[in-house]
Amino acid sequence: MGTDTVSTKTMTYAQAICDGIAVEMRRDPDVYVVGEDVGMFGGGLGVTLGLLDEFGPRRVRDTPLSETAIVGHAVGAAAAGLRPVAEIMFDDFLGIVMDELGNQAAKARYMFGGKVKIPMVLRASCGAGIRAAAQHSQSLEAWCAHVPGLKTVAPSTPADAKGLIIAAIRDNNPVVFLEHKILLGIAGDVPEGEYIVPIGKAAVKREGDDVTLVTWSAMVPQAERAAELLAEQGVSVEVIDLRTIVPLDKEAILESVANTHRLVIVHEAVRTGGFGGEIAAIVADEGFDLLDSPIKRVTAPDTPVPFSPVLEDAYLPSAEKIKAAVLDLM
Amino acid sequence: MGTDTVSTKTMTYAQAICDGIAVEMRRDPDVYVVGEDVGMFGGGLGVTLGLLDEFGPRRVRDTPLSETAIVGHAVGAAAAGLRPVAEIMFDDFLGIVMDELGNQAAKARYMFGGKVKIPMVLRASCGAGIRAAAQHSQSLEAWCAHVPGLKTVAPSTPADAKGLIIAAIRDNNPVVFLEHKILLGIAGDVPEGEYIVPIGKAAVKREGDDVTLVTWSAMVPQAERAAELLAEQGVSVEVIDLRTIVPLDKEAILESVANTHRLVIVHEAVRTGGFGGEIAAIVADEGFDLLDSPIKRVTAPDTPVPFSPVLEDAYLPSAEKIKAAVLDLM
Amino acid sequence: MSMSQEQLLQVFRCMVKIREFENRAHEVFLAGELPGFLHLYLGEEAIAAGVTAALRADDWVASSHRGHGHLIAKGGDIRLMMAEIFGRSTGYCRGKGGSMHIADLDLGILGANGIVGGGIPIATGAALACQYRGTDSVVVSFFGDAASNRGTFHEAVNMAAVWDLPVIFVCENNLYGVSTCQRDHMRITDVAERGAAYGIPGVVVDGNDVEAVYEAAVTAVSLARQGAGPTLLECKTWRHQGHFVGDPCAYRDPSEHEEWMAKDPILRGTRLLIEQGLATEEAIARLTSEIKAEIEEAIEFGRSSPWPDEADLLTDVYSE
Amino acid sequence: MSMSQEQLLQVFRCMVKIREFENRAHEVFLAGELPGFLHLYLGEEAIAAGVTAALRADDWVASSHRGHGHLIAKGGDIRLMMAEIFGRSTGYCRGKGGSMHIADLDLGILGANGIVGGGIPIATGAALACQYRGTDSVVVSFFGDAASNRGTFHEAVNMAAVWDLPVIFVCENNLYGVSTCQRDHMRITDVAERGAAYGIPGVVVDGNDVEAVYEAAVTAVSLARQGAGPTLLECKTWRHQGHFVGDPCAYRDPSEHEEWMAKDPILRGTRLLIEQGLATEEAIARLTSEIKAEIEEAIEFGRSSPWPDEADLLTDVYSE
Ligand SMILES: Cc1ncc(C[n+]2csc(CCOP(=O)(O)OP(=O)(O)O)c2C)c(N)n1
Ligand SMILES: Cc1ncc(C[n+]2csc(CCOP(=O)(O)OP(=O)(O)O)c2C)c(N)n1
Ligand SMILES: [Mg+2]
Ligand SMILES: [Mg+2]
């Protein structure tokens, strides 16, 4: 949202996240940043650079190499009233912390009958594309989406990254915030000051009438590029950037499909068990009568992320592959 | 499978698993059982009772309370040539071991260019129904299904449990074996000796023409019961027990839907991000033209598992709820 | 620091309250009235009572699967506890949590925990909150001998040590994790030795001696309050019953059990009170029957409370 | 046990091979020829060389993200390594793994690992395989100071201790985990102190003194072979470069860096060989240029090897 006449500034996705965190740290003394090397080093990929200088080591805390304690302590700190913004460098390390995230952070409120809240953010870089291989390149939003009590956010632009990190920090629930490494260096206009993008609202990135592309994170630019290519061939594509995975903006999807009657879901995660399945299932149920053709998914194949550039490029969904999938439907 | 004239014996699902493990331990000296209290105590829910007596403490190994080391050491033991059958008491603890399972066991072969195999089984009890509350009742097969390199198995009968545990132990890949706690005490006829149910093959539990129910694990008896209730109302239901989650027997599903033109997926896991989404997505793509009506899912709601019997009963999908979903379609 | 007479009477009362709560919960469970798993604290009462006696109301505790004793000692309302383990809408968690998931943030109770070792990092985080806000509150983390083999123990204790957090890690060493005895789950005899791995004090006490527990806790708490960081306090003890109700406990040596039963903390507390002239047998009997009545009242409250409404299933997943 | 002259020459050769491999990998990376992350072992060569000198061919090693040195020391083929980090089809993993994921099971190399601390339980499991089969092979697990704060370290070392497994836990303490110096990630000075938490020996050596490393490793290996179980062997060292190539390493004190550079293991090895009359400066120069030629050949092999076939993307996910 934000106000009507905001001044904007050009910054990268990484800077926008940092800016959003700083805005909240200035506003709320209970917000602190915590994780491996988040201080002077700026965290795994430099996102928190500069925060230590402004806020000092009490509020920008380097930890031991202990992801379990990073997430686990955040649950306790949040229960006791703080608002931790924790980083694990790569979402590939979610497997180390899924117990703290899924069994403690996400369930505490329900188990305790609504008598506690756990306002914490877990930031992690996600995605492939920098030849970081199988253990530093995954997209694991589907794991988080399967945990009631968690929210999961995956912005694709600098402005959304800022607006959503602020929303995540203000949210009274555990929020997983996935920062795609390929996007970190992308620059864009970002509103200054307090700028909030509500969690749970998708963005229509491009309007179109023939087919709906639903996607998120680093696949958004690929989908937009595919839409351009398809426009050249006379196919009119609507591109929806979910921005938030859970809670899902299912209305936005159904509304678009009601107009286009065709759906292609694009995600970078491996196909089987990816969040695309959830979207397809919802539309194949609640939107069945809207559909004129099969629901297609364009995803990574069911393999670990390979190292070699040749293989990694083949692994990643691309504008070309999206275009081919759409043309298949027409 | 199995041979043509096998003698059978009545045993419980738990005993059948134990029998299968014992068959393999007799056959292959590299197979060992490992986990917390798996020896004299028989593991979390008594499944391995008796193995210590027959095979001794070298091959039936109580561990410290260290799930990460249980799964992590199994990866190394398997890489070095053994065939560990590891137990974590509850699949709710998968969050503790997803790194060892997802980043090490599942990816080693691919990362190392096919030069290693990791033949290990990870057994865990799953599911709700015994008032064990939010951290001892989950169904987390969808997490495993999203990890290329893993296989995931969830039998519903004693015979399948035996046949699949043997197949899992002989498999040269990491296999997650989910034993539903509600099924452990259910008795049935089980073939004696070496009896294998192939991983990746669904079972048609009941034939029918009007609608296909796809399900697995403890939802199979509920689906069968629903089919009976529906038969009374003149609705002919085909019930497919997947038995294996990954690799998925997609042909069995599509073949059935080609006949019934209607699909209802039933699983105990929470809805969002559950494996039902994957099945729906496949059918909404490859089976789109076969469908006469929306694909429905009958699942647990998106909440942690509640403790109180009243709430847990309301949480669980039941024959009645399945019946209602099917009638909705007709 | 040793306890005043009044404190001694108070911790004794606390121990008896835990004992009677657990005895009756046990019976009611066996009668089929309680759903789920029940891990009784019987025999370990001196630890919860002694440690919490060293705490203030604004201090915190994080508990384990064997949590009833910790909750009662920190002031938990036994009516709400009982209603919760009965699964009723009047319970602490409105029936959603059960025995392993009771919390009362207002009393500083961060929750029981179904994940062994799951509470240790949570306690550490709450301790950070205390330090961050400049209060001198402290946090106690209760966990078992087997739990000290979990990675959560290692990571959280190390983090607490590096950051000088005000947390006391209390290991209730009852010598077993389910059926696995300590020598089969660690090479060392004293879990307290692990303190040195993090550069913090490791202290062993007789966990069935409530005075000893209290004194050790006072030292640890005062270090924590002064900013000196965590202590690992190991209390040797014994659970009277099986791991959970229903476990016949066949893995323990009956003679070892006998020896330990003779060291029962309530037996010892009773002897102490009488020897020191703080209470007569009659006074103790009176106190016990008063407590029994309270427990009975709590059971009746639980038993007669309404079940949750089915609609409650869907609430409390997210906070506004 | 101290090294024979021949052994000394061999480990020196090994150190130089690692050094030159890493120096050239560094250059080739900076020239933009290598994709991905590169964590160089420069400065830590004496550890891999000294420890593996105490091993037999049928022993195992599990490595870390900083793995090149371990692989080379255990006999890894530098051509296949180089081709792998170039991402080529001729590499150890056919281009699928890259620097952090190289294994050679035939040589007993269980793999580098992108997960810090991920190799420690894997080493433990391989050690169980050795013991289970009644061989007297042993396993070495290499990891850093920061890795010793992970739960995997705690759980695996404890398991290895309880089971008397033949594994040597070698902590390469270069005093930093990325930018975080040891005093900010643990309270203690010697990681080796953690051995006592598991009832196993904890030994500190100068990790830049290849003879000292070797001698400590021989003791640990012989305990392990005899069935006495694990040792935690801490080797103090220093990485010459940033955490990965590209890290300007601004967080380290230049004067501390200077001090450590003077303790460079290759400098010391060179001095030792000359002082003991085992080699002349010329002989060392000759050896170094021989090795350089080998490395150059490996680079050429990697650089000129074909890329993987796109179809390879889908293979090797499952085994038959
Ligand atoms: C992470 C995890 N692993 C296993 C279990 C199952 N379990 C519950 S209690 C317990 C033993 C705990 O032993 P200890 O820590 O010594 O505590 P005690 O029960 O003796 O009080 C086990 C294995 C669990 N709940 N959580
Ligand atoms: C579990 C995990 N956490 C974080 C990282 C990112 N990371 C890679 S190396 C490293 C520091 C490791 O330090 P140390 O163990 O001392 O080894 P060193 O790099 O100094 O050799 C970190 C934080 C990772 N790869 N894995
Ligand atoms: Mg215990
Ligand atoms: Mg280091």
Quick: pLDDT tens for D221-265: 999 999 999 999 999 999 999 999 999 999 999 999 999 999 999
Does the predicted interface ipTM exceed a cut of 0.95?
Answer: yes
Residue C16 lies in a domain: yes
Nearest to C197 among D150, D151, D197 (CB): D197
- CA A270 vs CA A297, A300, A313, B149, B275: distances in Å: 11, 5, 14, 12, 14
Q: Are A287 and A247 within one domain?
A: yes
Residue D308 lies in a domain: no
Mean of per-residue pLDDT scores for chain D? 98
Q: Tell me whether residues D37 and A307 touch, CB distance under 8 A.
A: no
Lowest mean pLDDT among B3-12, C20-29, C298-307: B3-12
Q: Are A180 and A218 within one domain?
A: no
pLDDT in tens, B249-304: 999 999 999 999 999 999 999 999 999 999 999 999 999 999 999 999 999 999 99
Residue D307 lies in a domain: no
Q: Are B172 and B239 within one domain?
A: no
Distance from C-alpha of C179 to C-alpha of C169, rounded to nearest angstrom: 23
Residue D126 lies in a domain: yes
What distance separates the 2 farthest-apart alpha carbons in chain D? 56
Q: Are A318 and A226 within one domain?
A: yes
Distance from C-alpha of A262 to C-alpha of A329, rounded to nearest angstrom: 8
pLDDT in tens, B114-134: 999 999 999 999 999 999 999
Contact B263, B257 (CB under 8 A): yes
The last residue of a domain, from among B132, B164, B191: B191
The last residue of a domain, from among A158, A191, A224: A191
Q: What is the DSSP string of D76-131?
A: --HHHHHHHHTT-TTSTTTTSS-TT---BGGGTB----SSTTTHHHHHHHHHHHHH
Q: Are B186 and B207 within one domain?
A: no
Q: Are A61 and A82 within one domain?
A: yes
- CA A267 vs CA A128, A179, A213, A274, B273: distances in Å: 12, 14, 10, 8, 14
Residue B197 lies in a domain: no
Averaged pLDDT, B227-244: 98
The last residue of a domain, from among B156, B191, B226: B191
Distance from C-alpha of A267 to C-alpha of B51, rounded to nearest angstrom: 46
Share of chain B above pLDDT 70, in %: 98
Peptide bond preceding A247 in cis form (omega within 30 of 0): yes
Averaged pLDDT, A69-85: 98
pLDDT at B1 over 70: no
Given CB atoms, is D178 within the 8 Å cutoff of chain A? yes
Q: Is the CB of C228 under 6 A from ligand 1?
A: no
Pinpoint the alpha helices (H) of D133-242.
151-162, 182-185, 210-225
Residue B321 lies in a domain: yes
Q: Are B210 and B301 within one domain?
A: yes
Residue C317 lies in a domain: no
Cα C36 to ligand 3 centroid, rounded to whole Å: 20
State how many domains chain C has.
1
Averaged pLDDT, D53-57: 98
Residue D72 lies in a domain: yes
Q: Which domain holds residue A43?
A: 3-191
Pocket perturbation via mutation, ligand 1, pick of C178, C234, C260 by most ligand atoms within 8 A of CB:
C178
Residue A146 lies in a domain: yes
Angle between helices A275-286 and A250-260 (to 10 degrees): 60
pLDDT at position B4 is 58
Residue A138 lies in a domain: yes
Pocket perturbation via mutation, ligand 2, pick of D41, D116, D234 by most ligand atoms within 8 A of CB:
D116
pLDDT at position A4 is 58
Q: Tell me whether residues B285 and A274 touch, CB distance under 8 A.
A: no
Question: Nearest residue CA, atom 4 of ligand 1?
Answer: C116
Distance from C-alpha of D148 to C-alpha of D232, rounded to nearest angstrom: 11
Share of chain D above pLDDT 70, in %: 100
Q: Are B25 and B144 within one domain?
A: yes
Catalytic residue among B136, B180, B261, B267: B136
Give the DSSP H/E element, type plus range, for residue D203.
strand D202-206
Q: Are B61 and B134 within one domain?
A: yes
| CATH code: domain of residue B60 | 3.40.50.970
3-state secondary structure of D139: strand
| CATH code: domain of residue B226 | 3.40.50.920
Residue D311 lies in a domain: no
Residue A196 lies in a domain: no
pLDDT in tens, B78-123: 999 999 999 999 999 999 999 999 999 999 999 999 999 999 999 9
- CA A94 vs CA A87, A226, C35, C283, D180: distances in Å: 11, 31, 33, 57, 22
| Type of residue at C120 | I
Nearest to B77 among D97, D128, D158 (CB): D128
pLDDT at position A1 is 45
Averaged pLDDT, B61-77: 98
Distance from C-alpha of D167 to C-alpha of D128, rounded to nearest angstrom: 9
Nearest to D158 among C149, C162, C198 (CB): C149
Residue A302 lies in a domain: yes
Q: For residue A129, how many other CB atoms are within 10 A of its CB?
A: 18
For an interface test with D, the pick among C148, C153, C162, C182 (most D C-beta atoms closer than 10 Å) comes out as C162
Given CB atoms, is C83 within the 8 Å cutoff of chain A? no
pLDDT at position A5 is 67
Instruction: Write out the two tokens for C282.
Output: 């009659």
Pinpoint the alpha helices (H) of chain A.
13-27, 51-59, 67-79, 94-98, 108-111, 141-145, 158-170, 219-232, 250-260, 275-286, 309-315, 319-329
Q: How confident is the model at residue A6 (pLDDT cuts 50, 70, 90)?
A: confident
pLDDT in tens, B16-43: 999 999 999 999 999 999 999 999 999 9
Distance from C-alpha of B327 to C-alpha of B235, rounded to nearest angstrom: 8
Residue A217 lies in a domain: yes
Instruction: Write out the two tokens for C206.
Output: 């007789």
Distance from C-alpha of B254 to C-alpha of B258, rounded to nearest angstrom: 6
Given CB atoms, is B25 within the 8 Å cutoff of chain D? no
pLDDT at A82 over 70: yes
What is the torsional sign of CA C195, C196, C197, C200? positive
Distance from C-alpha of A181 to C-alpha of D178, rounded to nearest angstrom: 19
Catalytic residues of A: 136
Enumerate helices (H) and strands (E) in chain C, giving the number of each.
11, 7
Cα C241 to ligand 3 centroid, rounded to whole Å: 12
Distance from C-alpha of C309 to C-alpha of B276, rounded to nearest angstrom: 28
Residues of C at the D interface, defined by Cβ within 8 angstroms: 149-155, 158, 161-162, 184-188, 193-194, 196-200
pLDDT in tens, A176-235: 999 999 999 999 999 999 999 999 999 999 999 999 999 999 999 999 999 999 999 999
Share of chain A above pLDDT 90, in %: 98
**Contacts (Cβ under 8 Å, ≥6 apart) of B29:** none
| CATH code: domain of residue C197 | 3.40.50.970
Averaged pLDDT, C62-77: 98
Q: Tell me whether residues D158 and C152 touch, CB distance under 8 A.
A: no
- CA C210 vs CA B174, C55, C267: distances in Å: 49, 14, 11
Question: Nearest residue CA, atom 19 of ligand 1?
Answer: C177
Beta strand segments in chain C, E: 60-62, 139-144, 167-173, 176-177, 180-181, 202-206, 231-236
**Contacts (Cβ under 8 Å, ≥6 apart) of A311:** D95, D96, D308, D310, D312, D313
Q: For residue A318, how many other CB atoms are within 10 A of its CB?
A: 16
User: Using a CB-CB distance cutoff of 8 angstroms, which residues of chain A are in contact with residue C95?
Assistant: 113
With left for phi above 0 and alpha for psi between -120 and 50, is residue C175 left, alpha or beta? left
Q: Are B185 and B39 within one domain?
A: yes
Distance from C-alpha of C155 to C-alpha of B228, rounded to nearest angstrom: 53
Residue A289 lies in a domain: yes
User: How does strand A187-191 pair with strand A8-12?
Assistant: antiparallel
- Closest atom, ligand 1, to C-alpha of C243: 19
- Closest atom, ligand 2, to C-alpha of D39: 19
Residue D142 lies in a domain: yes
Q: How confident is the model at residue D2 (pLDDT cuts 50, 70, 90)?
A: confident
Q: Are A54 and A34 within one domain?
A: yes
The backbone torsions φ and ψ at residue C110, rounded to the nearest 5 degrees and listed phi first, read: -80, -5
Beta bridge partners of D7: none
Work out the minimum CA distance from C314 to partner chain D, whole angstroms: 35
pLDDT at position B2 is 45
Chain A residue with minimum CA distance to D247: A41
Contact D117, D152 (CB under 8 A): yes
Q: Are A88 and A232 within one domain?
A: no
Q: Tell me whether residues C87 and B131 touch, CB distance under 8 A.
A: yes
Q: Which domain holds residue D141?
A: 5-302
State how many domains chain B has.
2
